[in-house]
């Protein structure tokens, strides 16, 4: 059992690290190639490339509290690591690894991107219609949450559908005089 646990953790670290690297490389490419350009359509008005810097969380919420969002991000990453440590199914591990990698990708921006340490703006470049602009870390977060929730719901359904265990004869206590 210990070997399986370590294997799941190693896989989770690999997935999270891959998400982090892909996210940071894609952001560097976006900065290098999209600076000074407007929106570049990929799928008409549905999806395009547009460079933006987000001081807030999703949909620019909390833009004036970047330091607080950074702190919440650190706490969230610690919680995700703790949940990964306790995870027993591969689906939950994969979901949490994607979530962790995405959260780390955006945290790196908050820590090291301008304007200052801990108050950096997240680099976004995937424009979803007129709704919002995100990045690959956000994509990993969304997919990770979906996988995690589906795994949780599947496990709950299995638990509720499992037949109740009928006590075996050896489970029934026997009194000293042989009567039950």
The set of catalytic residues is 124, 138
DSSP readout, 129-172? TTTEEE-HHHHHHHHHHHHHHHHHHHHHHHHHHSPPPPPPGGGS
Q: How far is residue 84's CA from residue 12's CA, in Å, rounded to a whole number? A: 8
With beta carbons less than 8 A apart as the criterion, state whether 45 and 129 touch: yes
Cα dihedral: 13, 14, 20, 26 (round 10) = -170
Question: Residue 97 is encoded by which pair of tokens?
Answer: 């690894």
* Contact assessment for residue 137 and residue 102, using Cβ atoms and an 8 Å cutoff: yes
């Amino acid at each position: 059992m210990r070997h399986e646990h370590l294997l799941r953790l190693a896989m989770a670290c690999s997935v999270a690290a891959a998400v982090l690297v892909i996210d940071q490389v894609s952001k560097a490419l976006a900065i290098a190639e999209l600076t000074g350009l407007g929106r570049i359509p990929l799928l008409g008005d549905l999806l395009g490339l547009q460079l933006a810097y987000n001081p807030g969380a999703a949909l620019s919420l909390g833009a004036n509290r970047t330091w607080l969002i950074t702190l919440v991000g650190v706490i969230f990453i610690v919680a995700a690591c703790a949940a990964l440590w306790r995870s027993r199914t591969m689906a939950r591990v994969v979901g949490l690894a994607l979530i962790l990698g995405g959260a780390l990708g955006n945290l790196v921006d908050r820590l090291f991107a301008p304007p200052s340490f801990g108050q950096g703006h997240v680099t976004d470049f995937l424009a979803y219609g007129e709704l919002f602009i995100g990045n690959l870390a956000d994509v990993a977060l969304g997919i990770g949450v979906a996988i995690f929730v589906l795994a949780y719901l599947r496990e709950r359904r299995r638990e509720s559908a499992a037949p109740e265990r009928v006590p075996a004869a050896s489970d029934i206590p026997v009194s000293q005089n042989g009567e039950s």
